Structures are given as structure tokens and as C-alpha cells.
A and B are shown apart, each in its own frame.
Chain A
Amino acid sequence: MNYSEGELAFYPGCSLDGLGKAYKKSSELVSKDLGIVMNEIVDYNCCGATEVKTVSYDLSVFLPGRNLALAKEMGSKAVVAPCNGCVFSLGRANKAITEDEATKSRMNEYLGKAGAPSYEGDVEVKHIIEVIYQQAGLDAVRKRVKKPLTGLRVACYYGCLYTRPKIYTGAGSGERDNPEHPHFMDDLMEAIGAETVEYPLKTVCCGGGHAIADREVSVGFSASILNEAARLNADFVVTMCPLGQMNIEANIPMIEKQYGREIVRPVVYFTQLMALAFGHSRREARLADNFSDAGKVLHSKGF
């Protein structure tokens, strides 16, 4: 389904203001090039991620619920979030509000007290990749490419909460991506000329939920994601989740120590590669933000 101008609200979430700045800037470039207009939600708050819901169910519906209510007030029909965690908690709030009348009336009471508009759970939640894929379309992406990334092998890593679970994200129905075998990023990467590998760890967890609390798991999963990409001879791991990107990249020093330097691959956002293919410079795509040396890998491939 296509949305006209003013119907898409953008929810940047917490990461994009700080550590995920490269994602924000490159997403802005790409969506501008493709003519996708999104209005940022003013005074948004944290969606609560997966942490708040272990503390209080009501708070974990109220926090994302407030953002959705604000988006609804702006006249939006869909909220676009670039982060898998945000897509999950916003979708979860929608489900909680629509499936249970008692929750809905409780939430509206809280929202009223907090000075936010009431909310019925009728704003759609979308990941930014779905908007680029559906709103602009693969043909428009192909047409826009100025410097195709021919010869670059990429492993597309979607992360856990992008389409999972389908009861929250609506995956697998209509035009949404497949929950077990997502393909939107692979298609986009092929459209900009890169070569994708048949990556088996597409939707595995990166351990980011316990990035610091459970180091054994977080380093272990990050290493296996990089190792699999190295085994398949990929140059980059491409991702769409700020937490996943940050988790894997920040673990690279430990992975080098434990598993050796040769399995390390730079982890970049799909919008960074798209911005490069659309003719923007490396500085504009903010490749220097990566802890691993993404620029060097590009250089060695002749870009």
C-alpha cells in the first residue's frame, strides 16, 4: 500500500540520535533521493525496547502508545521506525491495545493524564526497509543508481525483531516480508549492483538484548555472525538494526582476541551502501562512524 505525502510519520528512537547517527543520516539521504517524505514525530519518547516490558506490562504499552498517539494526531496513517526493537515494541503496543478492551481503556486513561491524545490502535507500524521497498520500489532504486557496487559481496543480516513475531508486525501477510525467510534487503542490495550470499544466519539473534549483561552470549553470537559471513567470502555484513550493528562492532576487539582477525567483517547499514551507490561520498554515508574499517575494505575492492 502506498502512502501519500504527510501520511508517514518517522519515529527515530533513541539510537539514531546518538550511536546510530550514520543510520539516520544515510536514511535521510536515501529517502530524499527516492522521494519518500516522512515527518518526524515531535517530542517522541523511548519505546521501552525489550527492557521495560520485564518491569511493567502497562508501562511497556504506554510508552510506545504515546508515540503512536502523537503520530495519529499529526494525521499519519503509518509510523516508520528504522530500528527492529522499535518496530517490535510499537507493533506490540498496537496489538495489546486492539486485542483487549480493558488495556485500551487503561491506556487511554494514562494518555489523557499525560496530556497526549487518545489512541485506538489504528496506526500501522512499518520498518524503514519496507517503506523503501514498497513506496519507492526496486525499479526506482535501480534507476537511481549512479555507481553500482558491482563485485561487492554482502551478507544480509536482518536481526531478530524485524519480522518476528508476525502477530505484532503483520509479517507474512499482504505485501509484508516473510517472517522466516526475509528477502527485502537481499533484493535491494541486488538492485544496487551488489552480490548477495546465501546467508543462513539472516534472522539469528546477535545477543544484543544482553550486550553487556551476558558477555559470553553476546560475543559468541557476534562471532558466529561474522564467521559465517567470512566463510561465505562476503566483504560486508549489511544490517538494518542499530542495536545489532553496535553490538557486533563493539565486540570486534574481543572477537579478534578470541577467534582471530581474519573472520572480522565490517558491519554497515544497508542505507550506507545504498547512499554510496546513489553517488554520495563516503563522508556523506558516514563510513567513518564504523569501528571496523569499512573504508579500507571498499578501497581494496576498487571503490
Chain B
Amino acid sequence: MPIHEKHLIEKQKIIQKDSAELEGRDVSGQWNIFIQQRILSQYHPSMADEIASTPDGRTINRCWQCGTCTSGCCMHTDFGLREFNPRYFIYLAKIGDEEELKKYKDVIWRCLACNKCVERCPKDVRVEEVIHAIDGYMRKKGWMDDTPASRWDDEYVGNVLKTGILDEIMLLRNYIRDEEMKEFNAGYMMRMGMNMLKTGRLRTGPIRHRTKGWKKVRKVAEEILEKDGYELQ
């Protein structure tokens, strides 16, 4: 049987024979390609419920799989990363397919939170939040390690909690140092640093704006993080 849109099927699932004979007659022109049956081996009926019980994932059950989110998604459409498919991630989370979801562990963190999906969703699913809930669920289960995005978020939260205001320059410096990014070499950093110094924008450390009475707020913030089971780095 001819398969239209073969690219939508995983390569290892397609079986193609050079010749196929049926009762002595060659039928390979029509019947030499098969698609392997899909069997769910790792199936978690509780996955959808667990995600739906988090504040981020609370809207997952409203999804009716129209795909509006994916058609406009800036990662999927504008950047062209076809594996990044929010509709499919939601589908997998709803049926609880661990094996399939794990295939996207290097992709799912790349959501940029541009919120086009939330804007367009006809069912008021907060798609971007749900995708982050699925991402968080996968990390919590140990199905994937820290991602560049989660390390950035950790650095960000730690930074904000220090003084109440984000110290951008320290955030950039620490992250670039910890990730050992070669792209930002000494020449680049000098060029940017000099420009900022000349224009008085190198506001970091003690000269940065500080929130008065932050200690009290910080305590509450730490309480909230503890309640949500998040450990400050």
C-alpha cells in the first residue's frame, strides 16, 4: 500500500521488502511496505492527573487537539524545529506515553514562552504553562537531566532572591562561566563591557538598585519555594 506523508512515520517503524510474493504472484508493487504496529509499553494512566493537579498544568484537560498552538509555534514554524510539537506533547501526556515522551527530552525545554499558543488557543489552554509543567514532570521523574533552560532559571531565581532585583550582569557572567561557553570570548566581553562602562550601564553588585525591606519578603519567597519542593541552588 502506498504511504502518503511517509516522513511523519518514524523510519524504524517502516518495513520495506524488495519483493513480496503471494501465492506465486509478485505483488511487491503494491504490498511491499508495512508500518509496524504501535504498542504502548510504558503507559502511565496517572500522568495526566498528576500534571493536571499542578497549577501550571491545570488547563491540560481542556485541550481538544486542534493543533492551533503548533501551527503558530515559533519553535515549530518560525524556527523550523519540527520535532517541537506542543499539541503532540499534550497528547502524549494525556495518554501517559512515557517511552514516546522521553524521545523529546532534548527538545521540550526549548519553548521560548512567546505565548502565541496561549493567545490563539480556542479552548483557553495555557499551552505554554502546560508544556513547562510536562517538562517539570519529566525532570521530577528523572526521565531527563537538567536542561540549559532549567539551569538558567535556577541561576535567575537565586539571583533575584538575593536583593529583590535582577542583577543582569552577574546572571550573565555566572551562567556563561558555569556553562563554559566559548562563544563569549575575552574580545567580545571586553567590547560589550567597555561600551557599558562608558555609558554608565555597568550597574552591578552594590551600586544596583535594591529593594528596601527585602529580607522579610525573601523569607516569604523561600517559604513558598520550600512548599513547592524547590531547592535553591
Contact = CB atoms under 8 A, between A and B. Distances in A.
Interface in A133-173: 160-161, 164-167
Given A17-B209, A55-B225, A58-B227, 4 more contacts: A57-B228, A203-B116, A221-B74, A288-B198
A210 B112 CA distance: 6
Among the interface residues A110, A209, A212, which one has the most CB atoms of the partner chain B within 10 A? A212
Tell me if B's interface is mostly helix, strand, loop or mixed. Answer: helix
Nearest to A116: B217
Contacts, number: 181
A88 to B, nearest CB: 7
Contacts of B168: 14-15, 18-19
Given A210-B110, A213-B148, A289-B199, A165 B192 contact: no
A62 interface: yes
A52 interface: yes
Interface stretch (A43-51, A124-132, A232-240): A43-51
Interface of A: 14-15, 17-19, 21-22, 42-46, 48-59, 62-63, 66, 88, 110, 113-116, 160-161, 164-167, 179-180, 203-205, 207-210, 212-215, 217, 220-221, 224, 250, 253-254, 286, 288-289, 291
A164 B115 contact: yes
Nearest to A50: B113
8 contacts: A43-B211, A62-B220, A113-B223, A205-B116, A207-B112, A213-B148, A214-B149, A217-B112
Contact of A46 (B54, B165, B191): B165
A215 B75 CA distance: 13
B211 A45 contact: yes
Interface stretch (B23-31, B42-50, B94-102, B153-161): B153-161
B224 A17 contact: no
Interface band, chain B: 35 or more
Contact of A210 (B152, B195, B211): B152
B183 A215 contact: yes
B170 to A, nearest CB: 10
Contacts of A288: 198-199
Contacts of B82: none
B224 to A, nearest CB: 5
Interface in B161-204: 164-169, 172, 175-176, 179, 181, 183, 188, 191-192, 195-196, 198-204
B228 to A, nearest CB: 4
